[in-house]
Amino acid sequence: MHLLGFSLALYVGPDQILPLTSILGAIGGAIMIFWRQVVGLFRRIRSVFVRE
Amino acid sequence: MSLPRLELAPQPPEPPRRSFGWFILAAGSLALAFGLGEALVSLCLGTRQGILSWKTGNSVKILFAAPAVYLLIFLPAAVPFALLDRTLKQRWSEVAMVFGFTTLFGISVTTLMRPWFSASASVILGLGMASVVSRIYNSDRTRWGLALVSSAPRLAAAALLIGVIGAGSASVVERLTIARLPAVTSSAPNVLLIVMDTQRADHLTPYGYARPTTPRLARLAEEGVRFIRATSPAATTLPSHSSIMTGQLVGEHGAGVNGKLFLDRRFPTLAERMRDSGYLTGGFVANTYWTGRHTGLNRGFVHYEDFYGSLMDGFTRTVMGRAIAYQLFPMFGRVDIPGRKRAEDVNRELLGWLDSRRGRPFFAFLNYFDVHAPYRPPPGWAGRFSSPGDSVARTRRIEIGAWNEGTVPDSAVLAAWRDRYDESLLYLDHEIGALLDSLAARQLLEHTIVIVTADHGESFGEHGTVHHGATLYLEQIHVPLILWGPGRIPAGKWVDRPVDLRAIPATVLEAVGVPTLGFHGRSLFASLDSRDTTGDPALSEGPLVPGNPPTWQTGKGWVKSAVTQRWHLVQLESGDRELYDLRIDPAELHNLAAVPELRDTLTALERALPGTFGGNIAAGSLR
């Protein structure tokens, strides 16, 4: 019984994965939509730390 | 004060205004490329069981279907973009078309990946993909616009070639498999296993129904053996079919349990054993949702006909086609299952296959889907038991039936459902008769053992439920079971010992003289022996379905059931028990579990039930 409980704790099925992969997918999609803004933001942040 | 430095990328020259033909060709190119893309994604996902959902199963024919469906949608959709380009000053129409079509494709392929992406994530990913593609396109419209139209013929040729190779490969694999089959004796009988999806026993003429719904099956039962207390191992399609094929309890094979929507490979199937014994094995299924190849029930069949039974089914094999058919059609009153495969289609597929594959005995498994909700008998059969304009057509959605809000419609609707259910059964009986006649005309029937049964029953308001999968009361698990085979099966015999459908593999194997090792021990032939006094109860299980209404037994937890000649025990995971005396209470209305005099009966029945709720499902899921 303990072994079964331990196995269930380790079980990663679709129900467990869906929220995580959906959030990652949505973040990826948003980055693709706002690509220029994202790149611009990174450039600005970089310029704060790196002086040319 | 210095002005900010503007960094402008060199802009490519504006392309000439697009012609109408350009839009059509460009839309065609996108349709072919995206159609092939969805087909390949679908096939890749299908290589691993459990990824595709009950509605998104597919076969290699998607290589033809998806490009065709995309062409059907994209070509007319390109016309408004072409008209806008001519009327507007701004030149954004072609980019908008590329953006729109890519969005649809992106949403489609991510929708197929439903185990990973929710509906909103699919939309965001689709928009993201479209943003990237249209940005690239817009960076050099002259170049990409030319590439789009010039690639149309090449894409068409590639789609055709890939489709032909894909479709042809299935036939080649089948021929190679048949060539490698071991020899089989010429006297070995054929076996025809007919599963009438959703057919409760008490609506059949040979089971005492007052309406003449099944004259042909009545004749078959008179010439063979009818089991009057047969029950299905589950009240839903996939678990029940999995038990029929493996001889295992639902808690053992675990198909259709805990979100595992397929039969895994831990247990041999009847079809595998028959194939390995030299039989031609063919499966022809109409309930493609739950018996399609994505469920694993095709294991062991050298030929399996599930999807693409009609053009409409081909249309619904794509995500966009499915969305149109299931969401849009009901708005115009079309509430039957789009592309529903009828019994005559199943028969045509079987006979066509038999005509092309002679020389060996066959094991054919048929799943008919005609009586399943929504109750829509074919034209010509509606009105045999019902009157026009009855209450059944009020719905504006496709109610496939295995789920609902847990409400029971009023008695007029229930009566109309029963009428239509019986009309569909009348049609099915006619088609089963037509199939048997066709086999007789080919001189095949006299060497064939026929088994007719059902995967589960159906409720029409009994115990506060409708459809199936809700409870394990008899209306949901009592199924017909008829054995027929001239010279091999006794004629005119009634068996009232309880049996369940796990006995089918052992029965078939015993009938054809193949060892039954690895399958549920007792074949139905043991029940034919009047000296048999084992009295084992027939067992059924109802897995917990979290989405089911809490008023249903399966909405509260696992359910187990044991049926004997007199008693029916239903045990819930909560510990609640219900005991019915079927001799005086066949409708199961008076629970006798609390009667002290019946404690021994209750205990004996409980001992016969499967050991734990859920069996080894959790372990089975850890693959």
pLDDT in tens, B426-449: 999 999 999 999 999 999 999 999
pLDDT above 80: residue B591: yes
Average pLDDT, chain B: 91
Q: Are residues A35 and B131, on separate chains, in Cβ contact within 8 Å? A: yes
pLDDT above 50: residue B4: no
pLDDT of residue B617: 44
The answer to which of B85-94, B218-227, B594-603 has the lowest mean pLDDT is B85-94
Q: Are residues B121 and A23, on separate chains, in Cβ contact within 8 Å? A: yes
Please check whether residues B477 and B579 belong to one and the same domain: yes
Higher pLDDT, B509 or B408: B509
- Reading the block at residue B160, the tokens are 């055709």
Instruction: Calculate the CA B603 to chain-centre distance.
Output: 38
Q: Are residues B619 and A25, on separate chains, in Cβ contact within 8 Å? A: no
pLDDT of residue B3: 44
For B422, the enclosing helix (H) or strand (E) is helix B411-441
Residue in chain A lying closest to B114 (CA): A18
Residue in chain B lying closest to A4 (CA): B619
**3-state per-residue secondary structure call for B544-613:** CCCCCCCCCHHHCCCEEEEECCCEEEEEECCCCEEEEECCCCCCCCCCCCCCHHHHHHHHHHHHHCCCCC
Residue B11 placed within a domain: no
Could you give the CA distance from residue B560 to residue B582 in angstroms, rounded to a whole number? 17
Please check whether residues B266 and B150 belong to one and the same domain: no
pLDDT in tens, B30-40: 999 999 999 99
Which chain B positions have a beta carbon within 8 Å of A33's beta carbon? 124, 127-128, 131
Residue B1 placed within a domain: no
Which residues have C-beta within 8 Å of that of residue B116, sequence separation ≥ 6?
A17, A18, A21, A22, A25
Question: What CATH number corresponds to the domain at position B554?
Answer: 3.40.720.10
DSSP lists the bridge partners of residue B563 as B538, B568
Question: Scanning the structure block, which residue is given the tokens 């048997």?
Answer: B436
Count of domains observed in chain B: 2
> How many residue contacts between A and B have a Cβ separation below 8 Å?
69
Residue B12 placed within a domain: no
Q: What's the whole-number mean pLDDT along residues B270-291?
A: 97
Q: What's the whole-number mean pLDDT along residues B574-588?
A: 95
pLDDT of residue B450: 98
Please check whether residues B94 and B201 belong to one and the same domain: no
pLDDT of residue A13: 59
Q: Given phi > 0 = left and psi -120 to 50 = alpha, else beta, which region is B289?
A: alpha
Please check whether residues B163 and B194 belong to one and the same domain: no
Residue in chain B lying closest to A23 (CA): B121
Give the torsion through C-alpha atoms of B213, B588, B403, B549, to 10 deg: 160
C-beta separation of B408 from B461 below 8 A:
yes
The answer to which of A48-52, B200-204, B298-302 has the lowest mean pLDDT is A48-52
In this complex, the residue of A14, A15, A25 whose CB is nearest that of residue B125 is A25
User: What does DSSP assign to residue B40?
Assistant: H
pLDDT in tens, A13-44: 566 788 899 999 999 999 999 988 988 998 89
Provide the ipTM: 0.78
Please check whether residues B135 and B198 belong to one and the same domain: no
Residue B579 placed within a domain: yes
Cα–Cα distances in Å, from B613 out to A12, B12, B238, B616? Answer: 21, 69, 18, 9
Please check whether residues B203 and B145 belong to one and the same domain: no
pLDDT of residue B1: 43
Residue in chain A lying closest to B107 (CA): A29
pLDDT in tens, B529-544: 765 666 789 999 999 8
Please check whether residues B548 and B453 belong to one and the same domain: yes
Higher pLDDT, B50 or B284: B284
- Reading the block at residue A9, the tokens are 């704790």
From B134, B168, B202, the end of a domain falls on B168
C-beta separation of B597 from B241 below 8 A:
no
Please check whether residues B144 and B209 belong to one and the same domain: no
pLDDT of residue B621: 34
B621 touches chain A (CB under 8 A): yes
Cis peptide before B374 (omega within 30 of 0): yes
- Reading the block at residue B223, the tokens are 């010439």
In this complex, the residue of A7, A15, A26 whose CB is nearest that of residue B124 is A26
pLDDT above 90: residue B369: yes
User: ∠ CA(B537), CA(B542), CA(B546), 5° rounding?
Assistant: 165
Q: Are residues B116 and A33, on separate chains, in Cβ contact within 8 Å? A: no
From B117, B146, B168, the end of a domain falls on B168
pLDDT of residue B598: 95
For B368, the enclosing helix (H) or strand (E) is strand B362-368
The single-letter code of the amino acid at B501 is: L
Of B151, B99, B226, which Cα lies nearest the Cα of B483? B226
Could you give the CA distance from residue B70 to residue B75 in angstroms, rounded to a whole number? 8
Of B370, B362, B479, B351, which Cα lies nearest the Cα of B430? B370
Q: Are residues A29 and B619, on separate chains, in Cβ contact within 8 Å? A: no
Which chain B positions have a beta carbon within 8 Å of A17's beta carbon? 115-116
Q: Are residues B115 and A17, on separate chains, in Cβ contact within 8 Å? A: yes
Which of A3, A33, A37, A38 best probes binding to B when mutated, by most B CB atoms within 10 angstroms? A33
Higher pLDDT, B358 or B30: B30
> Where residue B622 falls among pLDDT bands split at 50, 70, 90?
very low
pLDDT of residue B531: 59
Question: Scanning the structure block, which residue is given the tokens 């299980």?
Answer: B541
Please check whether residues B146 and B226 belong to one and the same domain: no
Q: Are residues A25 and B124, on separate chains, in Cβ contact within 8 Å? A: yes
CB atoms within 10 A of CB B391: 16
Which runs of consecutive H residues, i.e. helices, occur in B140-230?
A: 141-150, 152-179, 215-222
DSSP states along B59-75: -TTHHHHHHHHHHHHHH
pLDDT of residue B48: 87
> Where residue B120 falls among pLDDT bands split at 50, 70, 90?
very high
Q: In terms of residue numbers, what domain contains B458? A: 181-621
Instruction: Calculate the CA A12 to chain-centre distance.
Output: 18
The answer to which of B100-104, B203-207, B328-332 has the lowest mean pLDDT is B328-332
Residue B192 placed within a domain: yes
B110 touches chain A (CB under 8 A): yes
Higher pLDDT, B49 or B341: B341
Q: Are residues B618 and A14, on separate chains, in Cβ contact within 8 Å? A: no
The answer to which of B56-65, B86-95, B246-255, B286-295 has the lowest mean pLDDT is B86-95
B215 touches chain A (CB under 8 A): no
C-beta separation of B557 from B573 below 8 A:
yes
Q: Are residues A28 and B127, on separate chains, in Cβ contact within 8 Å? A: no
Number of alpha carbons in the 13 Å side-chain half-sphere of residue B610: 25
Which of A12, A17, A31, A32 best probes binding to B when mutated, by most B CB atoms within 10 angstroms? A32
pLDDT of residue B357: 81
Residue B224 placed within a domain: yes
pLDDT above 60: residue B620: no
From B143, B168, B193, the end of a domain falls on B168
pLDDT in tens, B471-490: 999 999 999 999 999 999 99
pLDDT above 60: residue B78: yes
Residue B8 placed within a domain: no
pLDDT above 80: residue B388: no
Residue B87 placed within a domain: yes
The answer to which of B354-358, B527-531, B562-566 has the lowest mean pLDDT is B527-531
Please check whether residues B300 and B399 belong to one and the same domain: yes
